[in-house]
Amino acid sequence: MNLKPVNVRIVLVETTHSGNIGAVARAMRNMCLTELVLVNPRKFPHPDAVARASGALAELDNAKVVNSLEEAIAGCQYVFGTTARERGLEWAPATPQETAETIVSAGEDAHCAIVFGRERSGLTNEEVEMCTHAVQIPTNPDFSSLNLGMAVQVVSYELMKARGGKVSQAKPEVEPAPAEAFEAMVKHMEEAMTHSGFYDPEDPRMTQRRMRQIFRQANLDAAQVNMLRGMWNSVLQLPKGPHSKS
């Protein structure tokens, strides 16, 4: 996958539950982020982190543990502080999507940090003020606080999309069936429909054209045309329908 390069560290401030650190490591691996910085985690390393990381162990092993937010964001030109609450900031917080676009346009030479707060109390006002930008995930205004791991997931997913991450288009190209195979299939279908009584050849109305249109839209390949012919064959082997005029 060709992702646009970025230089981003995920910073977690004084995380209480080690399981959340594992969930963050997992979200990071899912979304192709590698750099994790922990400011005074309560318990780390810890088996709960390993359990919740579901195999994203390199992110945990390489996590850097530091004593202060200053240390965690040293060298960063862009520091995004995430917050669930309106804090009366003079600047409106950005959405995760806008944040991701800013990071991608800044490019890989720009050192960026995205900072996440404590489970209970989030980031302090002083910590938010140390950030160059504030980020808020849009939520129900009466219930705005996401679990820490989920908040990291949402923000890093937006970053993944902004970097050009897409599900691979592994669908094989369909080689449309040749005209004569398509026509033979339609004729075969008419026989079967007449046989079953669904279709009256004396009074075709629009049915024939509509059926043809349905199969045109399906852009059938040769194998699919053959499969339909097999189906019409099986209908022709049944006893005639009660309304059949054939």
Angle at 41 between CA 39 and CA 44, to 5 degrees: 125
Identify which of 34, 44, 31, 37 has the alpha carbon closest to the alpha carbon of residue 13: 37
Contact 152, 10 (CB under 8 A): yes
Write out the two tokens for 32.
């192709």
Q: Per CB under 6 A, does 15 bind ligand SAH? A: no
Binding segment for ligand SAH (CB under 6 A), chosen from 2-10, 77-85, 166-174, 221-229, is 77-85
Phi, psi values for residue 236, rounded to 5°: -65, -20
Q: How far is CA 61 from the centre of its chain?
A: 26
18 CB-side CA count, 13 A: 12
Write out the two tokens for 198.
């669904």
Which residue's structure tokens are 């999507």? 97
Residues in contact with ligand SAH, counted by CB under 6 A, come to a total of 19
Binding segment for ligand SAH (CB under 6 A), chosen from 140-148, 166-174, 210-218, 219-227, is 140-148
Which residue's structure tokens are 């059949």? 244
Phi, psi values for residue 12, rounded to 5°: -110, 125
Q: Per CB under 6 A, does 117 bind ligand SAH? A: yes
Measured from the CB atom, the residue of 37 and 177 that comes closer to ligand SAH is 37
Q: Per CB under 6 A, does 97 bind ligand SAH? A: no
In the list 40, 144, 224, 226, the residue contacting ligand SAH (rule: CB under 6 A) is 144
In the list 80, 116, 182, 199, the residue contacting ligand SAH (rule: CB under 6 A) is 116
Binding segment for ligand SAH (CB under 6 A), chosen from 23-31, 134-142, 164-172, 178-186, is 134-142
Q: How far is the CB of 40 from ligand SAH (least distance, A)?
A: 14
In the list 6, 21, 112, 151, the residue contacting ligand SAH (rule: CB under 6 A) is 151
Where on the chain is the footprint of ligand SAH (CB under 6 A)?
82-85, 116-117, 119, 121-123, 135-137, 139, 144-146, 148, 151
